[in-house]
Structure 1
Amino acid sequence: MLLIDLTHNAAAQFVGMILTFIVMNWIVFHNRKVLLLLSRALLFVLLSTFLYAHDSTPFSPNAAGSMSVTMIALLGAKAAWWFVGSACLVGLVRIFLIFERKPREARLLQDLVVAVLYGGAFLAVISYVLSVPVGTLVATSGVFAIILGLALQSTLNDVFSGIALNLGRPYTVGDWIVVDDGAEGRVVETNWRATYLINGANDLVTIPNSSLAKARLVNRSGPDISHGASVKLRFAIMTTPVAVVEVMETALKGANAILQVPPPTVKICSLDTESIELELSFRIASLADGVRANNEIFDLAFRHAKAHGIRLAGAAGSVRAPEPSSQGANPGTARRLVNALPLLGSLTEDEKEALSAVMTRRTFRKGDLIARQGEIMNTILILRSGVVSIDRDGTELMRLSPGDWFGEGGLLTETEEVGNITALTPLVAYEIDRDTIAALLKDRPTIADEVSAILSRRLSEEKRRLAPHDAAKPPLSLATRIRHIFNIEEF
Structure 2
Amino acid sequence: MKYPLILGYAIVAVDLVVWRGRLPAHDLARLFIRLALFFALSWILFTTGLSPFTQAPDFGAIELHWLGQLLEIIWWLMGARLLSLSLDTLLLPRAWRKQRLFSDVFGAVVFLAAAVAALGFVLELPVRGLVATSGALAIVLGLAIQSTLSDVFAGIVINTTEPYAVGDWVTIDDVEGKVIEMNWRATHLLTGQGNTLIVPNAVAAKAKITNNSKPGDVHGLSIVLEIEPEARPRTVLDALERALTGCEIILASPAPFARMKRTTANSVQYEVMAFVDDMNKKLAASNELFDLCYRHLAAASVVLRALGVPAASVNSRDGREALLTRVSLFDSLSGDEVSKLAKRLTRHEYQANHQVLAPDTVPDSLSIVHSGTLSVSIMEGTSNREISRIGPGEAFGEAGLLAGLAMRVSITTLTPSVLFQLGKDDMTSFLKDHSEVAKQMCQLLAYRQDKLGKLTTPMPVEPEKDHSLFHWLVAKVWNVHSLHDDSKSS
User: Structure 1 residues 453 and 274 mapped into 2: Cα distance closer, same or farther (>3 Å)?
Assistant: same
Q: Cα deviations across residues 93-125 of structure 1 (Å, max 9, x unaligned)?
A: 554699837754x12222123223333333343
1:321 is the counterpart of 2:315:
no
1:162 is the counterpart of 2:148:
no
User: Would the aligned equivalents of 2:69 and 2:122 in 1 still touch at CA under 8 Å?
Assistant: yes
Match of 1:401 among 391, 394, 398: 391
User: Would the aligned equivalents of 1:37 and 1:91 in 2 still touch at CA under 8 Å?
Assistant: yes
User: Would the aligned equivalents of 1:284 and 1:290 in 2 still touch at CA under 8 Å?
Assistant: yes
- Classify the secondary structure of the residue corresponding to 2:271: strand
Q: Report deviation, 1:416.
A: 6.6
Aligned residues: 471
Paired residues for 1:132-143 under 5 Å: 132=125, 134-143=127-136
Q: Report deviation, 1:388.
A: 0.9
Paired residues for 1:178-189 under 5 Å: 178-180=171-173, 183-189=175-181
User: Structure 1 residues 22 and 256 mapped into 2: Cα distance closer, same or farther (>3 Å)?
Assistant: closer
User: Would the aligned equivalents of 2:353 and 2:412 in 1 still touch at CA under 8 Å?
Assistant: yes
Q: Report deviation, 1:137.
A: 2.9
Match of 1:210 among 202, 212, 236: 202
- Classify the secondary structure of the residue corresponding to 1:140: helix
Q: Report deviation, 1:400.
A: 1.3
Q: Name the CA distance, whole Å, in 2 between partners of 1:96 and 1:446.
A: 77
Match of 1:364 among 350, 373, 378: 350
Q: Name the CA distance, whole Å, in 1 between partners of 2:282 and 2:447.
A: 25
Q: Report deviation, 1:272.
A: 9.8
User: Would the aligned equivalents of 1:386 and 1:426 in 2 still touch at CA under 8 Å?
Assistant: yes
Q: Name the CA distance, whole Å, in 1 between partners of 2:113 and 2:29.
A: 25
Q: Name the CA distance, whole Å, in 1 between partners of 2:331 and 2:193.
A: 38
Corresponding residue for 2:79? 85
Which amino acid in 1 is paired with 2:223? S
Q: Name the CA distance, whole Å, in 2 between partners of 1:115 and 1:92.
A: 15
Larger CA deviation: 421-430 vs 339-348: 339-348
Which amino acid in 2 is paired with 1:214? K
Q: Name the CA distance, whole Å, in 2 between partners of 1:19 and 1:55.
A: 21
Which amino acid in 2 is paired with 1:246? D
1:481 is the counterpart of 2:467:
no
Match of 1:249 among 238, 241, 244: 241
User: Structure 1 residues 79 and 229 mapped into 2: Cα distance closer, same or farther (>3 Å)?
Assistant: same
Q: Report deviation, 1:195.
A: 3.4
Q: Report deviation, 1:202.
A: 3.8
User: Would the aligned equivalents of 2:363 and 2:397 in 1 still touch at CA under 8 Å?
Assistant: yes
Match of 1:432 among 389, 406, 422: 422
Which amino acid in 1 is paired with 2:422? I
Q: Name the CA distance, whole Å, in 1 between partners of 2:264 and 2:202.
A: 47
User: Structure 1 residues 208 and 382 mapped into 2: Cα distance closer, same or farther (>3 Å)?
Assistant: same
Match of 2:368 among 378, 382, 388: 382
Match of 1:423 among 393, 413, 417: 413
1:451 is the counterpart of 2:441:
yes
Q: Name the CA distance, whole Å, in 2 between partners of 1:448 and 1:227.
A: 46
- Classify the secondary structure of the residue corresponding to 2:317: coil
Q: Report deviation, 1:49.
A: 3.6
User: Structure 1 residues 483 and 51 mapped into 2: Cα distance closer, same or farther (>3 Å)?
Assistant: same
RMSD of Structure 2 on Structure 1 (CA): 4.4
Q: Report deviation, 1:45.
A: 2.9
Paired residues for 1:170-319 under 5 Å: 170-180=163-173, 183-224=175-216, 226-237=219-230, 239=232, 241-256=233-248, 258-270=250-262, 277-284=269-276, 292-310=284-302
Q: Name the CA distance, whole Å, in 2 between partners of 1:460 and 1:97.
A: 59
Corresponding residue for 1:4? none
Q: Cα deviations across residues 8-61 of structure 1 (Å, max 9, x unaligned)?
A: 453444344334445565679386755542331220232344356458876xx4
User: Would the aligned equivalents of 1:387 and 1:425 in 2 still touch at CA under 8 Å?
Assistant: yes
- Classify the secondary structure of the residue corresponding to 1:331: helix
- Classify the secondary structure of the residue corresponding to 2:275: strand
Q: Name the CA distance, whole Å, in 2 between partners of 1:265 and 1:323.
A: 30
User: Structure 1 residues 93 and 433 mapped into 2: Cα distance closer, same or farther (>3 Å)?
Assistant: farther
Unaligned 5+ runs, structure 2: none
Unaligned 5+ runs, structure 1: 1-6
Q: Name the CA distance, whole Å, in 2 between partners of 1:272 and 1:22.
A: 71
User: Structure 1 residues 383 and 144 mapped into 2: Cα distance closer, same or farther (>3 Å)?
Assistant: same
Larger CA deviation: 138-147 vs 16-25: 16-25
Corresponding residue for 1:3? none
Q: Report deviation, 1:89.
A: 3.5
Q: Report deviation, 1:142.
A: 0.7
1:111 is the counterpart of 2:104:
yes
Which amino acid in 1 is paired with 2:161? G
Q: Report deviation, 1:387.
A: 0.2
User: Would the aligned equivalents of 1:259 and 1:282 in 2 still touch at CA under 8 Å?
Assistant: yes
Q: Name the CA distance, whole Å, in 2 between partners of 1:13 and 1:291.
A: 63
Larger CA deviation: 204-213 vs 138-147: 204-213
Corresponding residue for 1:44? 38
User: Would the aligned equivalents of 2:327 and 2:393 in 1 still touch at CA under 8 Å?
Assistant: yes
User: What is the identity percentage for the equivalent residue pairs of Structure 1 and Structure 2?
Assistant: 29
User: Would the aligned equivalents of 2:187 and 2:201 in 1 still touch at CA under 8 Å?
Assistant: yes
Which amino acid in 1 is paired with 2:94? E
Q: Name the CA distance, whole Å, in 1 between partners of 2:298 and 2:196.
A: 44
Which amino acid in 2 is paired with 1:166? N
User: Structure 1 residues 116 and 134 mapped into 2: Cα distance closer, same or farther (>3 Å)?
Assistant: same
Which amino acid in 1 is paired with 2:353? G
Q: Name the CA distance, whole Å, in 1 between partners of 2:40 and 2:9.
A: 12
User: Structure 1 residues 485 and 81 mapped into 2: Cα distance closer, same or farther (>3 Å)?
Assistant: same
Q: Cα deviations across residues 319-372 of structure 1 (Å, max 9, x unaligned)?
A: x8377387xxx5176555334433123335665455444444444332233446
Q: Report deviation, 1:384.
A: 2.1
Match of 2:144 among 133, 146, 151: 151
User: Structure 1 residues 24 and 253 mapped into 2: Cα distance closer, same or farther (>3 Å)?
Assistant: closer
User: Structure 1 residues 413 and 148 mapped into 2: Cα distance closer, same or farther (>3 Å)?
Assistant: farther
Larger CA deviation: 296-305 vs 108-117: 296-305
Larger CA deviation: 140-149 vs 295-304: 295-304
TM-score in terms of structure 1 length: 0.77
